[in-house]
Structure 1
């Protein structure tokens, strides 16, 4: 008989027979009883209904994108959407030209960008390449975001049906709670990687199968392939999934009555993990090399770890982007709108602890083992989410170090943002609430009285309704200029030459990255390169091979700063020939052949200051020429601006 980690349901639910005493079980017995499955004809209607509900919910959350995918952009995170649209379009370019999937010189001319150290999402880029080519990266982005939310809810629904609960309704409650939790909905403000909760669910599902005695080879191969896929979807989320599922499995096995089951599981688990390491290590050898030893690598992250830590009060607060937030009950305690990962609210937190106490008190021994393992995972990841220093009501208490203070210099942990560990805590919440719902729905459950089931059901609804999500907010972005879409730019740039819009692309403005992305998505043999961009790279380029810390974009050059200040704050200083000489040096470094200014420039909260950009650039380079719907300045590399345009 095969030995596997069962569905984690207690044996009294699995069958009406008396509880099995596994301390005296025969060595050939299953670690826990075989799966109880609902007949296929009865299960499929429920699965289809859940899929429809999850998809409808995801469309509702992403409705602003679908209303006008070519015009609208997520209002809270314009830059990240632009970056992901670039990554999706690069998939078309990569397949057409068989280019390096982990390094490109199209951005950050002339140095390039190490894509393996960025959220390259190669899996999405390749799978959705046909959609990106024919309908554009804007549509692919909206489609992936929608499918991520729906898929996250649906996969965790299936996970619950397989491993923890018998009721389809209970599984649906848990799946929807996680798939549309405040954390995933907040990440829907631009993050295709962190909304990929379906990937985490599938990986966790297969980790639980590792103790199967006779299927270690199959399980190891499948898990290796899943890890390869997960790395190219969301490497940081995969790292969290590996920690959480491994910790759960470890605690679960050691918590079994007696050690026979744990000893029996060690061999298949180790064999499976060995196969996983070989498969994933082989398939990921190239991207891992690029990540840890490739050009323009860096250590840590470009974000402040202490800033991106969870505020203790945020767990009990309501999210701004929710029903409660609509009534003014939300709290602004997140690092930004995209990282509001907790915000579960006091009612849900109280319900969670009541559910744990009730399930622990009235459940048989098998269910308590599962609850213990889940509790350990929740506590540890809660502590990790708080970061290296305690934050309370928006104020950091630097004199109170926490668990993560021990990990800030540890490889991999130094590249993770603590606030995101909260998503694992949310998974535990979803599983426990689903288990409680299962007891409410089942007449033979732990809550025997009709009144008790009604009261508990009402409490579940009351805890979940306040955090029900609102649609992601969107705003209009500047349209792609005809100068770019028509290909007229080719008259101003040599083959593989460098061109840029104003200001240079950065976290504040990713218009140029978007327009390069749309040019890649359409295909064709000609494409321009661009300086700067929005990505993660080393803080300093001066020392080759230096293991530098990360930052957003390249080190800023003086002319880039000048244009940035004009666009962001309207600064229009009187420039001198010294400024023009510096511009000559900077544009020679970038090898820029032409710059252009569109009618509108998208910023993080709306249009940037085009008039200031025009005045500063005219002082630097003289009067522009009108080409289609943009103003263009030609640049002759190596020629002093004074010689090219005369005194300005």
Structure 2
């Protein structure tokens, strides 16, 4: 099913017209593209590489802490035989359903040796860098195999797909969404399902791939499946290829049956945990009417781009991690013009594929706008298809704006196709050839990415790294840093990750950054999704002090509440480090936390480089 085919048989594999020159050493080209992709990935992440242990992503401290925690938990899982899809180390006393989060279990296990030797901090930036590089390279290989003959055309398309504005934005923390290499590998195997006589092998391979990739990027895998389904169905109904589609129908159906059986068997437990296990939840902790693509965002420039250096960055995104599209007017215009140019030079069979590709792009464009149309940060009273889909399973837990990532891939494919037309000189008009070439360069330069932003983070206290904490906590007991671990105060979760990665004794913590139910019932049953644990009065005291410097005069009622809260968490000790990491270079108020803790718990004990308050069973620190 190749759009490069000019004959009516749109699925010529590989395409036979026009004849391509023989490449005697294709590995040299592959190696060159791989090195360019890796260099770009290192460039984007260089701020973290300069000091992986003391630098953190300033635009998303919480997500980096969560993924570092997962990497540390991978070492803990292998060492203790624990459940990779549920953990009681976070969110005491309920625990966290990791299957309902992004568990990246394949990564945590595969990279466990590196995590054990170098720490989750180093493993995190390694995976982030490889994700970006492998995504660009995988798309290059996919386009070389299925779409174009020119290495330059495949390289342009692949590099765009790997480093498009949306993926640079997601490089601020997300090891799942930067794993863009998942899409071309799955799509490659989907296209191979039609091979005669190989339905069993191809179905088996696809089933194993889906099971493995589920833990890395479940939501992204869902988008790939949806896009592939729309593409194949639209293509199959093309009049020019109807006979070809009918001939492949039985083979594809058999292969999909094998895929369903294999993937279903391998994913039985993860899917059960995801949808019915403890601490599951409905929907998401994020507002689906807020995390949508403003229609104007497609015409705007991203904040981590050359355009932003001259003041053209956008104020439209909900946050800097979700700038999913932001292509700019020049690229949007170029994509539309290029699609028309390629369409006019295509044979009927090739147009079937282009039509299917266009349908995919338009569908995901509209879905990315969410339940209602937004323009320049104003929600208009215009309902859209996602308003219906948002009530369906999976869709109700997705963020609409992320569907725009599929539009980026469609644009990347169009760029590859028009580059093929240019480098092969199929465009005979010198003026058109020069104009398209100049337009392509002019459209891509403004969105050339800048490195992700970083900042210093609080170092791991000696109290934790040297194991002194063990003198204050019973075996597998509960201890917490102040303020408690949240997405904006993530130190406590990071330090627990480092302890897990070392493979020694372990403690548990209340709270943390994760997705969980809004309301816990008597048995911890599921509720509406939210970010982190529902705060209690006591942890909110410390959080409010750290974020806003707010110190209140405590009453006996506050102390009674604290007794109940500490008993609920079964906390045996809390400690205050010398520094507290805030998000986006925010300075958190350590002194306000110290005043609040001292007023509530009495004078602290200086231990190593932290202040410690003991809270032991049977010894009430509040009775003073």
Task: Report TM bin, short chain.
Answer: over 0.9
Three-state SS of the structure 1 residue aligned to 2:240 is coil
Aligned equivalent of 2:403? 421
CA distance in 2: counterparts of 1:403 and 1:372, whole angstroms: 21
Aligned equivalent of 1:134? 117
CA distance in 2: counterparts of 1:217 and 1:509, whole angstroms: 50
Q: Which moved more, 1:344-353 or 1:546-555?
A: 546-555
**RMSD of equivalent CA atoms:** 1.4
Aligned equivalent of 1:470? 450
CA distance in 2: counterparts of 1:513 and 1:286, whole angstroms: 26
Is 1:9 the counterpart of 2:4 in the alignment? yes
Deviation at 1:450, TM superposition (A): 4.1
CA contact (8 A) 1:207 1:246 kept: no
Aligned pairs (5 A) from 1:150-161: 150-161=133-144
CA distance in 1: counterparts of 2:453 and 2:479, whole angstroms: 32
Deviation at 1:456, TM superposition (A): 1.5
CA distance in 1: counterparts of 2:12 and 2:604, whole angstroms: 75
Aligned equivalent of 2:102? 119
Deviation at 1:268, TM superposition (A): 1.1
Aligned pairs (5 A) from 1:228-267: 228-257=211-240, 259-267=242-250
Deviations 1:159-185 (A, max 9, x none): 110011110000110011111110000
Aligned pairs (5 A) from 1:356-367: 356-367=339-350
Deviations 1:292-335 (A, max 9, x none): 11001111111111111000000010111100011111112111
CA contact (8 A) 1:117 1:297 kept: yes
Deviation at 1:531, TM superposition (A): 0.5
CA contact (8 A) 1:584 1:639 kept: no
CA distance in 2: counterparts of 1:33 and 1:527, whole angstroms: 55
Q: Which of 60, 67, 83 is residue 84 of structure 1 equivalent to?
A: 67
CA distance in 2: counterparts of 1:224 and 1:52, whole angstroms: 31
Aligned equivalent of 2:389? 407
Is 1:589 the counterpart of 2:571 in the alignment? no
Is 1:556 the counterpart of 2:567 in the alignment? no
CA distance in 2: counterparts of 1:294 and 1:102, whole angstroms: 9
Deviation at 1:551, TM superposition (A): 0.4
Q: Which of 291, 304, 312 is residue 321 of structure 1 equivalent to?
A: 304
Three-state SS of the structure 2 residue aligned to 1:549 is strand
- CA gap of 1:217–1:39, structure 2 versus 1, over 3 A, is farther
Aligned equivalent of 1:25? none
Three-state SS of the structure 1 residue aligned to 2:572 is strand
CA distance in 1: counterparts of 2:619 and 2:472, whole angstroms: 16
CA contact (8 A) 1:588 1:638 kept: no
CA contact (8 A) 2:538 2:562 kept: yes
CA distance in 2: counterparts of 1:597 and 1:73, whole angstroms: 20
CA contact (8 A) 2:14 2:146 kept: no
Aligned equivalent of 1:3? none
Aligned pairs (5 A) from 1:88-487: 88-257=71-240, 259-397=242-380, 399-443=381-425, 445=426, 447-487=427-467
CA contact (8 A) 1:577 1:642 kept: no
CA contact (8 A) 1:600 1:607 kept: no
Deviation at 1:379, TM superposition (A): 0.5
Deviation at 1:638, TM superposition (A): 4.7
CA distance in 2: counterparts of 1:169 and 1:32, whole angstroms: 22
Deviation at 1:577, TM superposition (A): 2.3
CA distance in 2: counterparts of 1:58 and 1:441, whole angstroms: 26
Deviations 1:188-237 (A, max 9, x none): 00000000100111011111112222111111011111111110111000
Deviation at 1:581, TM superposition (A): 1.6
Deviation at 1:522, TM superposition (A): 0.9
Q: Which of 48, 54, 57 is residue 71 of structure 1 equivalent to?
A: 54
Deviation at 1:639, TM superposition (A): 4.1
Aligned equivalent of 2:484? 504
Deviation at 1:473, TM superposition (A): 0.5
Q: Which moved more, 1:606-615 or 1:166-175?
A: 606-615
Aligned equivalent of 2:469? 489
Deviation at 1:366, TM superposition (A): 2.1
Three-state SS of the structure 2 residue aligned to 1:319 is coil
CA distance in 1: counterparts of 2:64 and 2:249, whole angstroms: 44
Is 1:604 the counterpart of 2:586 in the alignment? no
Deviation at 1:467, TM superposition (A): 0.4
CA distance in 2: counterparts of 1:624 and 1:60, whole angstroms: 45
Q: Which moved more, 1:377-386 or 1:572-581?
A: 572-581
Deviations 1:569-603 (A, max 9, x none): 11111112221121111011101000000001111
Q: Which moved more, 1:248-257 or 1:376-385?
A: 248-257
User: Normalising to structure 1: TM-score of the pair?
Assistant: 0.94
Aligned length: 620
CA contact (8 A) 1:70 1:138 kept: yes
CA contact (8 A) 1:581 1:640 kept: no
Deviation at 1:383, TM superposition (A): 0.6
CA distance in 1: counterparts of 2:555 and 2:524, whole angstroms: 37
Aligned equivalent of 1:522? 502
Q: Which moved more, 1:253-262 or 1:282-291?
A: 253-262
User: Normalising to structure 2: TM-score of the pair?
Assistant: 0.97
- CA gap of 1:527–1:40, structure 2 versus 1, over 3 A, is farther
CA contact (8 A) 2:5 2:11 kept: no
Deviations 1:452-483 (A, max 9, x none): 32322111111101000000000001000000
- CA gap of 1:259–1:370, structure 2 versus 1, over 3 A, is closer
Deviation at 1:403, TM superposition (A): 0.9
Deviation at 1:371, TM superposition (A): 0.8
Deviations 1:350-399 (A, max 9, x none): 001101111111211122111101000000000100000111101112x2
Deviation at 1:256, TM superposition (A): 4.6
Aligned equivalent of 1:532? 511
Q: Which moved more, 1:312-321 or 1:207-216?
A: 207-216
Deviation at 1:417, TM superposition (A): 0.5
Aligned equivalent of 1:572? 551
Three-state SS of the structure 1 residue aligned to 2:282 is coil
